[in-house]
Amino acid sequence: MKDTLILAIESSCDETAASVVKNGRTILSNVISSQIALHTLYGGVVPEIASRKHIEKINQVIDQALSDAGVTLDDLDAIGVTYGPGLVGALLVGVAEAKAIAYAKKLPLVGVHHIEGHVSANYIEHPDLEPPFLCLIVSGGHTHLVIVKDYGEFEILGRTRDDAAGEAFDKVARAIGLGYPGGPKVDKLSKEGNPNAIEFPKAKIGDCPYDFSFSGVKSAVLNYINHAQMTGEEVNRADLAASFQKAVVDVLVEHTMLAAKDYGMTKIAIAGGVASNGTLRAAMEEACKKNNYSFYRPSPIFCTDNAAMIGVAAYYEYIKGTRHGWDLNAVPNLKLGER
């Protein structure tokens, strides 16, 4: 059978990325131009700055992805692109670029849901993984517990009621002076701290046992810091980071294990930027081992925003026959499973 080659483009937040993917599972190239240093000055991603950087870098990134893969546009079967959710101005750069390339080369255009991309990152390094499986998606903007019923088909079991897990990490990191991006910095500092030093609340949502809430633990951390400041006590930042991280990770793992049991799922995957958190990976792996579940997780490079995962998701949409028109728009609040 002839190989299927897809060029994928991702620009939903602060990474400009392009990748060439063969037959949905083999990554021929994976180019990521990160803007993190630029946004650090502002303590978070500035949408207009991100959009400007995308347009500056995008053609260079695509050229690199094609040359790393050793292919030209003439070898491709389709163009995949993230069209939501994300920052609208940032998404629009990738969408307009992808449409123009696909149009000029008379190639099919496949719009991809960013979070479906994150889930699909698991297929890259686990050739044996196929739906159905349970997936915990955790990033700066999303916290979802879903059953992946088939390629591109999801049943959402739980979601966050307030902050995304990654958002809580960012806010706590800012409060203890670690800066942006918070996740990796909290994770690193936690290694020097005692996770049982401070007990932070773990929110349970009465009517939906799979839902999450992280604003409570975030507030508890901020209160703890305020209280210490007022009484003149010194805060042990490493203990605080480790204890906060444990509170978040425990809930993520507990809810995932509960859903696995309730729905009889034996394959468990994690995805999204926070899935590269060392403590989460270790805790989830241990819980899976204890319950005799198979555990799947992407390497950190495929957890961060990247276009390889978009290419994988695009492939399964492409073989199902999904095609988008030249009027494809960016959809900043695109829902999971929506087309």
Partner 1 sequence: MKILALDSSGIVASVAVVEDDTLLAEYTVNYKKTHSQTLLPMLDEIVKMTELELESIDAIAVAAGPGSFTGLRIGSATAKGLGLALKKPLVAVPTVDALAYNLYDAQGLICPIMDARRKQVYTGIYRFEEHQLKTLKDQWAAPVEELLEELNRRGEAVTFLGDGVPVFRELIAEKLKVPYSFAPAHVNKQRAAAVAALGSIYYKEGRTQTDVEHVPEYLRVSQAERERAEREKAQKQAGTTV
Binding site for partner 1 (CB under 8 A): 41-42, 46, 48-49, 51-52, 54-56, 58-60, 62-63, 73, 88-89, 92-101, 103-105, 325-330
Cα gap 280→295, rounded to integer Å: 12
- Bridge-based pairing state of the strands 109-113 and 78-84: parallel
Cα gap 103→80, rounded to integer Å: 13
Closer of 102 and 173 to partner 1 (Cβ) = 102
Closer of 41 and 319 to partner 1 (Cβ) = 41
- Bridge-based pairing state of the strands 294-296 and 267-271: parallel
Helical (H) or strand (E) element with 156: strand 153-159
Q: How far is the CB of 63 from partner 1 (least distance, A)?
A: 7
Closer of 51 and 122 to partner 1 (Cβ) = 51
Q: How far is the CB of 49 from partner 1 (least distance, A)?
A: 5
Q: How far is the CB of 100 from partner 1 (least distance, A)?
A: 3
Closer of 93 and 221 to partner 1 (Cβ) = 93
Closer of 118 and 324 to partner 1 (Cβ) = 324
Q: Do residues 57 and 16 touch, judged by C-beta distance below 8 A? A: yes
What are the tokens at 132?
Answer: 């159905």
Q: How far is the CB of 72 from partner 1 (least distance, A)?
A: 10
Q: Do residues 289 and 266 touch, judged by C-beta distance below 8 A? A: no
| CA distances in angstroms from 140 to 184, 197, 283, 313, 320, listed in the order given | 12, 26, 20, 20, 30
Q: How far is the CB of 42 from partner 1 (least distance, A)?
A: 6
